[in-house]
Amino acid sequence: MTNSLQLLFEAINQVKDEHELRTHLVPKIREHFNTKRSGIFFFDQLVSDRRFQKVLNIALSTEHNPVVRYITERHTPVHEGLVTSPKAWAIICPRPDHWHVMAGPILDRGQLVGTVGCTRDKLMPAFDSQNIADLSAVCLHLSVWTTTVRLRHATPIQQQHQPFSSNRLTPRELQIANLVALGRTNAKIGTELWITENSVKQALKRMFRKLEVSSRAEMVALLSTTQHDLASVKLSSLD
């Protein structure tokens, strides 16, 4: 994990609201991914602002934009080269500063509530697999932040529908949760814990059922609001 990526994670944890996400975090995202433009968009804010109706109706339309459709269906980051040809993309998005586009999901309790977008112009290199991996980690942290903040401001009635306790998890499951919070894939978690990738998948399914959540981001967000510090779980605590 690069130092700049760690700085991004720290920046996400330090911001207090969505305004600070845009003013303080977006420039760091632009720098890390070496982009022409970057942005963080929450759909509820776009819907309430008439200035963004064109963005919603065209740029963020699942029918018009294959990148958005991919994110909506799979809840995972993608760049335009994975879903369409350069010729087709030039027709879909003719802007010269959007020649290369990469975007990822922001989730709140399993629901897609926003996106992170990055663009490069024609003279810049295309986004690659490492960019996708880094954005995946950033999106996970943003999703955890979003769920945590929105739960914090939820009414007592809304909060009572989120029963959970981290003591439902075994030490091994807490290790897995800690690595998920760090943005590790199932394969990398398996390598670090000396278990198979399938074992990680099965463990996550059990953890989701125990905590009554439906996504990795929601799980980490809920656990992070307890008195248990996931970062203190040492990978060496189990043999």
What's the pTM? 0.66
Q: Which CATH architecture has domain 163-237?
A: Orthogonal Bundle (1.10)
Residues contacting residue 95 through CB under 8 Å, at least 6 positions apart: none
Specify burial of residue 144 (Cβ count, 10 A radius: 0-12, 13-18, 19+). Answer: buried
Residues contacting residue 59 through CB under 8 Å, at least 6 positions apart: 65, 68, 93
Residue 37 tokens, joined: 């433009």
Q: Which 8-state DSSP code applies to residue 85? A: -
Residue 217 tokens, joined: 């981001």
The structure tokens 């030490």 sit at 171
Specify burial of residue 97 (Cβ count, 10 A radius: 0-12, 13-18, 19+). Answer: middle
**Which residues in the chain are classed under CATH 3.30.450.40?**
3-152
Among 2.60.120.10, 3.40.50.2030, 3.30.450.40, 3.40.50.300, what is the CATH number of 3-152?
3.30.450.40
- pLDDT tens, N- to C-terminus, the chain (239 residues): 457 888 899 899 888 888 888 888 999 999 999 999 999 988 877 665 565 555 555 566 677 788 988 998 888 999 999 999 999 998 888 888 899 999 999 988 778 888 999 999 999 999 999 999 999 999 999 998 988 888 776 544 444 444 444 457 887 888 888 888 877 889 889 888 888 899 899 999 988 888 888 888 778 777 765 534 444 443 444 43
Tell me if 114 sits within 8 A of 40, measured CB to CB. Answer: yes
Q: Would you give the distance in Å from CA 166 to the centre of its chain?
A: 22
User: Cα-atom radius of gyration of the chain, to the nearest Å?
Assistant: 18
Q: Which 8-state DSSP code applies to residue 91? A: H
